[in-house]
Structure 1
Amino acid sequence: MKLVLKIVGGLVALLALFVAGASVWFWFYPVTVNNAVNKFTAEFAMDTPELLTGLGMIDNTPLDFHSGKLSDYTKAQDEKNLARLKDARAMMNRFDPERLKGQEKLSWEISTWFLDDLIAQAEFEYSGYRVNQISGPTIDLPQFLTDTHVIKNEKSVKRYISRLNEFGRVLGEVTARVEDDRAHGVVPPDFIIAKAINVMKTFIEGGAEKNPLVTTLAPKLDKIDGLSAEKKAAYVADAAKIVGDRIIPGYEAMIALFEDMAATATHDAGIWRIPDGDKIYAAALHSSTSTDMTADEIHAIGVAEVARIESEMDAILVAQGLTEGSVSARVKQLMADPVHIFPNTDEGRKEMLSYLVELNDEVMAKAGAYFITLPPQKLEIVRVPEYSQDSSPGGYYNPPALDGSRPGRFYINQKNTADNPRWTLPTLLYHEAAPGHHFQLSASQLIKDVPLLRKVSPFGAYSEGWALYAERIAKTDMNMYASDPLGDLGRLQAEMFRAVRLVVDTGMHAKRWSREEAIAYMLDKTGNTEDEVTREIERYVVWPGQATSYKTGQLAILKMRAKAEAELGEAFDLKRFHELVLMNGAMPLGILEKTVDDWVADEKGG
C-alpha cells in the first residue's frame, strides 16, 4: 500500500502553529475549515519525521523532536493511518459546504477530495510494488539522508548517526512488507526485479567505507566550526560501522528476497497482473488525473495528440532540410549528431549544467512580463546522484524548504550526456525550473491565510499539467524559441513524450500491452534513445497512471485559458490568469475549472 508515501508527498506540518499558541479547544474542537485541515495535516506530519525534515521548519531548533528518527513502515502503521484518514474525513462532514464562502469553501472542497482519494486508494491493501528500481525506501532514504538531512552542528551529526541506525530498522520492516505482498500475490515483473536488484547492489558495492552514507559525511563535518579532527574521524567511523553492520546486511536481505522472487516472476507489465489490478488502475487514473475519464478515453486522447504533434514536428524537420524517413528516424538522426552533444566527461557535464543555468537566467529575465508573483526562493541545478542514475528519469525537481534553509533543486540525469542533446535542454529546464515546477511549487509556499495543505501539491494533474503548460507558453507567449527552431523541435519532442505516455500507460495497464510493445511504440513516435525509453516504460510499470497526469493537466489548463480568453476578450489579462492558477495552490482539475469560471464571472462584473 502506497498510503504513507502519498501522505508524505502531500502533507505539511503544523507544529509551529501549536507552539505559537494554538489552544486545547482548537485541537479538539476545530471551529473553521482551516483549523480542521491543519489538524489532520499536523497529525500525519508529527508521525512522519522525513516530512518534517523535508519541510525544514523546526530541524535543529529547540522544537526538534524528530530529526534523529525515521518513519514506521509496518503494516500496523498503515492501518493506523487509514483509520486516521477516515476520522479526518468524518470531521470535515461537520461543515456544511453550502454555508461556506470564498477561500474557506475552496479549502473544504480541496481537502475533502484529497481525503476521499487517499481513502479510496488505501482500501487496496496490496496495490503495488513498494520496492522497485526507482522508488521505495531503498532509494528514497539514502537520497533523503545525504541531500535533505541538514548537518550544521554536532547535535545534528548525532541525529544523522541515529537516523542511520533507524535505517537499519526500516529495511527490516520493509523486507517483511515485501514478503507479505508476495504472499498476497503481489510480485513485481521479472524485469523490474532485475533492475531493482542492480540498483541495490550498486548502492552497497565497495563496502561501508565507500558508501555514500559515509563518504558524504566528512565534507559536511569539515564545515562545523570547532569540531576536532578526532571527533570528525570518530563520527565517520560510527557511520561506517552502522552502514557495515546494519544497512548493508539489510540490503543484502532484500536482494536475497528479490532473487528468490525472480525465480517465479512473470514478464507481464500491467498492474492487471495482480489481484484487483483493474480496480487498482481505475483508482490510480482517478487520482492521477483528478478526473473520471476512463482508460479508453485517455488512450484515444493520446492517439489524437500523437498525430497532431507528429505533424508539427515534421514541418520543422522539413524546414531544416531533413525530409527522408519517418519523423522519429529524423529526430534520432539529430539526437545522434555529435555537434549537439556535450562530452560525456566531468567537464562536459559541468558545461551542461552551466548551459542550464544560462537558460534559467534568460527565462527569468522575461518572466516579469507574464507573471505577477516571481519565486523569491533560489534554484540549484545539480546532477542526479550517481547511485540512482541508472533508473532515474531524465530530470526532476524537489521544492525548497519552507523556512528557506534549502533551495529548490532541479536534478538532471547525466549518466549519458547523449540522452540530452543541447536542443532538448531548454524545454526540460522550462518544465522543471522556470516557469514550471519551480514557479508552481515555490509560489504555493507563499499563499497566505489558507490551510498548509494548500501550500503543497498532492495533485499530479495540476502540478505536472502546469509544468507542461509552462513548456507551451515558453514558445507561444514568451517567444523563447524565436531564433531556435531546433529548441522548438525539442519542445514538441517532449510534448510527444507526454502524449505517448497516455497511450502506453493505458496500453500496458488496461489493454494488456507487453513491456516490449510499449517500448516499440514510444521509440517509433519519439526518437528518444532506447535506454531513455526503456527507463520511462519501466517507470510507468511501477507507477500506474502517474504518467497520464502531465498531458491531462496541460490540456485542461489550456482549455480553461481558451474559455477565459473567449469570454473576456481584450479584457483577458494573462498575468492575472497565471496568478489565479498559481496563487490558489494545487487542486483537482474540476475544482480548478470552477475557480477559473468564478474568476471570469468576477472579471466580467468589473
Structure 2
Amino acid sequence: MTKTTRAARALPIQRRTLLAAGVAGWMTASPVFDAVAATAKTTYGAADFDAWAERTAAARMKSLPEHATRMQYFEGPTQDRLDGRWDDLSRASALADLARDRRALAELDRFPRESLTPTQRTSAALMAWALQQDVAEAAFFDHHYVFEHMEGVHVGPITFLVQEHPMRGARDVRSFLRRMEGLAALMDQGIARARAAQVRGVLMPRFITATTIGQIEQFVAVPPAANPLVISLTERMAALPDLDDAARRRVRARAETIVAKSIAPAWKRGLALMREQLPLTTDDAGVWRLPDGDRFYAARLRANTTTELTPAEIHAIGLKQVARIEGEMDGLLRQLGYADGTIEQRFRKMDADRQPTGAAPQGELLDRYTAYLRDAETRARLIFDVMPKAPVEVRREPALTEPTASAHYTTPAPDGSQPGVFWAPLAGPTYEIADMRTLVHHEAIPGHHFQLAIQMEAKELPYFRRRAAFMAGSAYVEGWALYSEQLAVENGWYDGDPVGHLGQLYGALFRARRLVVDTGLHAMKWTRQQAIDYGITPQEVDRYVTWPGQACAYMLGRLRIEALREKARQQLGDRFEIKQFHNTVLLTGDVPLTVLEQVVDAWVDSRRSAGSGSANAAP
C-alpha cells in the first residue's frame, strides 16, 4: 500500500543528497555557499534575478530530457530534441552537472537577500537547496543502485515510455522510436555504472539482485511483437489522426526490429552482469554495509525529511506514533467485532472478510476508486477554494510493473493532452479493500493531484517553479499527501464508513512503522526478515532497502505541516481560515519544509496586519 509519486522522483532528486544547512538563511539572512562563491565580485538585484533564475533552470532542464518531456518545458525544436533523448547516466555527465551547479551557486550568492522580493527569496531558497544537494551528491555517486527493481535502468525507462511519454501525434511517435533506439546505449551506461560501483564495494542485496534478474528474464523472454513497448506504442498510436493504417504498420515493424536487434541484446548484457554479481552479494539489507554507509544514510535522511533528526530520534518518533495509532485502531476494530489478536491480525482479518468475489474483480475495483475520487472532488470544495483545473482519473498499473509496483500518481501534461493519473496496481489475488478511499485521498484528491497540478497551474509562481525545474525531495510532496489523508478524517469524509476510517488509520500506522523499519534496516542493522516481522510486506521492505530514507518523509512531513497549521491557528485565533492556510501551502509549491515554515510565518504576519482581510498570494 505504498503511496508514492513519480513526480516527486522526476528529477534525480530522490536519489540525491540534500544539505539542510544554509537554505533557511535565504529567508532570514544572506546565504553562505560553497567556497567557489568567494570568486563572485558583482552584485545584482531583484531586476536581474528572474531572468537569471529562468536561464539557470533552463540549463538544468536541458540535462534532464525525461523531466523536460514530462513537464513539456520547452517549445519547438529544443523540446523535440529532448523528447527523443534519455538522461545521461555517465560519470562524465555527472561531473559536468556538478561544475554547472557550482557555478550557479556562486552566481546565486551575488543576489543579496534584502534586494529580492518575497517570491524571489523563496525561489532563491529552493534553488540553493537543490543546488547544494547536487554538489553534495558527488560523494555518493556510486552508492545508488543502478539496477534496483523499482526504477532501475532496466525498468524505469520502460515505465516512462509506457506511462509518461506523450502520444499526441506522429511527432511523438517519432520521438518514442528515437528513445527506443537509445535504450541500448542507456543500458550500457548503466552496466558501466554498476561495474564501477562494484569496484568500490557497492552491490545490491542478494534479494534485490534476484528480483532484478527475474524482471529482466521476463522482459527478454517474450517475442518482440509481445514486448510491452511494442504493445503500448501500437495501442497508443491507434487513435492518432495523422497516422494512417499503413504508417502504423510501418511504425510497429520498426519498433519490433529495434527490440529484436538492439534492446533485447542490451537487456541480456544487463542480465549477464546481474547473474555475475549475484554470487558476490549478501542478504544484508541496510546501507550501513556500504563504504561510508552511515554518512550516506544520514544524508538520505536529511534529503528526504528536511530535518537534522538522527536515525535514533526518528526511530523513537516512529515507535511513539505506532503506539498512538494502534490504540485508536483497537477501539474501531472492537466496534466491528474484531477483538482477538494483534492489531495487524485483526485488520487483515477485517480486510480479508471484504474481498471481492468473482474471477476478475479489477473492473469493479477501478469503478469503486473512481466513485471515491468523484466524492472527494465534491467534498474538497468545502475546505479548498483553489482547485486544479486539470482533471484526474484512475488507471490500472501496466502488466510489466504491476507485480512490484506501488500505487502512484503522475502529473497532468501541461498542454492538457494527458490528465493527472492515479495508477492502481490490481494484480491480485487479494486486494487491500479498506484503504481504497484513503489511497484516493493520498494520490489524487486532495493529495498529490492538488499539490502538483495546482503548482503547475499557479500563475503567481515563476515558470521554472511551476514546471518543477527545482524540487525539494519528498518531505513536502509526501508530507502533503499524508496530511491530506488526515484532513479527510478531520472533515468527516469517513463518517458512516468505519472500514474506510480503519484503512486511513492503517495507512498512518504504516507510515509510522516506516520510521521504525527504515532506520532499523539502515542504521540498526535489522535483517529483511525483522522488518517483515514488524508488519511490513516484503515488497515494501524491498522498497525501503532500495531507497534509504525516502519512506521517512511521509510521517515527518505530515507532522511538520500539521505543526505549522496549529502554530498559525494559535497565533491568528478567529482570523485563521483553513482555506487560506491551504492556499498558502499549495501556492508556494514544492519547497524544503524549513522554507515553507518561513512562508507560513510571513502569511500569519500579513493576516495580523490585514486584520480580517485576505492574504492569498503565493510567496
Distance, in Å, in 1 between the alignment partners of 2:606 and 2:158 is: 49
Q: 2:393 matched to which residue of 1? A: 380
Q: Which among 3, 6, 10 is matched to residue 12 of structure 2?
A: 6
* Within-5 A mapping of 1:427-442: 427-442=438-453
Q: Which among 317, 325, 342 is matched to residue 341 of structure 2?
A: 325
Secondary structure (helix, strand or coil) at the match of 1:580 reads: helix
Q: 1:408 matched to which residue of 2? A: 420
Q: Which among 433, 442, 457 is matched to residue 446 of structure 1?
A: 457
Determine if contact 2:49/2:120 at 8 Å carries over to the other structure: yes
Greater shift in the superposed pair: 180-189 or 562-571: 562-571
Q: 1:61 to 1:173 in 2, by over 3 A?
A: closer
Unaligned runs of 5+ in 2: 1-8, 17-43, 612-619
Q: Larger RCO: Structure 1 or Structure 2 (Cα < 8 Å, ≥ 6 residues apart)?
A: 2
Determine if contact 1:342/1:417 at 8 Å carries over to the other structure: no
Greater shift in the superposed pair: 221-230 or 276-285: 221-230
Q: Which among 394, 401, 408 is matched to residue 396 of structure 1?
A: 408
Q: 1:331 to 1:449 in 2, by over 3 A?
A: closer
Q: 1:30 to 1:578 in 2, by over 3 A?
A: closer
Determine if contact 1:564/1:572 at 8 Å carries over to the other structure: yes
Give how far 1:179 is off: 1.0
Secondary structure (helix, strand or coil) at the match of 2:422 reads: strand
Q: 1:563 matched to which residue of 2? A: 567
Q: Among the aligned pairs, what percent are the same residue?
A: 34
Distance, in Å, in 2 between the alignment partners of 1:228 and 1:397 is: 33
Give how far 1:536 is off: 0.6
Q: 1:551 matched to which residue of 2? A: 555
Instruction: Indicate whether 1:462 and 2:462 are aligned.
Output: no
Determine if contact 2:158/2:229 at 8 Å carries over to the other structure: yes
Q: 2:22 matched to which residue of 1? A: none
Distance, in Å, in 1 between the alignment partners of 2:403 and 2:135 is: 34
Q: Which among 311, 314, 318 is matched to residue 298 of structure 1?
A: 314
Q: Which among 54, 63, 82 is matched to residue 66 of structure 1?
A: 82
Distance, in Å, in 2 between the alignment partners of 1:305 and 1:116 is: 32
Determine if contact 1:349/1:417 at 8 Å carries over to the other structure: no
1:418 partner letter:
T
Q: 1:377 to 1:397 in 2, by over 3 A?
A: same
* Within-5 A mapping of 1:127-166: 127-166=143-182
Instruction: Indicate whether 1:118 and 2:134 are aligned.
Output: yes
Q: 1:153 to 1:445 in 2, by over 3 A?
A: closer
Q: 1:486 matched to which residue of 2? A: 499
TM-score with structure 2 length normalisation? Answer: 0.89
Aligned length: 573
1:174-204 per-residue CA deviation (whole Å, 9 max, x = no partner) reads 1111111111111000000001111122222
Secondary structure (helix, strand or coil) at the match of 1:381 reads: strand
Distance, in Å, in 2 between the alignment partners of 1:334 and 1:443 is: 37
TM-score with structure 1 length normalisation? Answer: 0.90
Q: 2:546 matched to which residue of 1? A: 542
Determine if contact 1:132/1:196 at 8 Å carries over to the other structure: yes
Give how far 1:504 is off: 0.4
RMSD: 2.2
Give how far 1:271 is off: 0.7
Secondary structure (helix, strand or coil) at the match of 2:393 reads: strand
Secondary structure (helix, strand or coil) at the match of 1:481 reads: coil
2:515 partner letter:
L
Give how far 1:64 is off: 2.4
1:561 partner letter:
R
Distance, in Å, in 2 between the alignment partners of 1:451 and 1:244 is: 45
Distance, in Å, in 1 between the alignment partners of 2:577 and 2:244 is: 59
Q: Which among 80, 95, 98 is matched to residue 82 of structure 1?
A: 98
Q: 2:297 matched to which residue of 1? A: 281
1:577 partner letter:
F
Give how far 1:4 is off: 9.6
Distance, in Å, in 2 between the alignment partners of 1:569 and 1:480 is: 25
1:358-411 per-residue CA deviation (whole Å, 9 max, x = no partner) reads 111111112111011111101121111111122212x11111122222211101
Determine if contact 1:121/1:283 at 8 Å carries over to the other structure: no
Give how far 1:450 is off: 3.2
Give how far 1:452 is off: 3.4
Secondary structure (helix, strand or coil) at the match of 1:581 reads: helix
1:519-571 per-residue CA deviation (whole Å, 9 max, x = no partner) reads 11125xxxxxxxxx111110000100000000000000111111111121222
Give how far 1:146 is off: 2.0
Q: 1:315 matched to which residue of 2? A: 331
Q: 1:474 to 1:226 in 2, by over 3 A?
A: closer
1:88-120 per-residue CA deviation (whole Å, 9 max, x = no partner) reads 111111111133331111211221122112222
Q: 1:405 to 1:512 in 2, by over 3 A?
A: same
Secondary structure (helix, strand or coil) at the match of 1:138 reads: coil
Secondary structure (helix, strand or coil) at the match of 1:380 reads: strand
Q: 1:575 matched to which residue of 2? A: 579
Q: 1:91 matched to which residue of 2? A: 107
Secondary structure (helix, strand or coil) at the match of 1:216 reads: helix
Give how far 1:29 is off: 11
Secondary structure (helix, strand or coil) at the match of 2:197 reads: helix
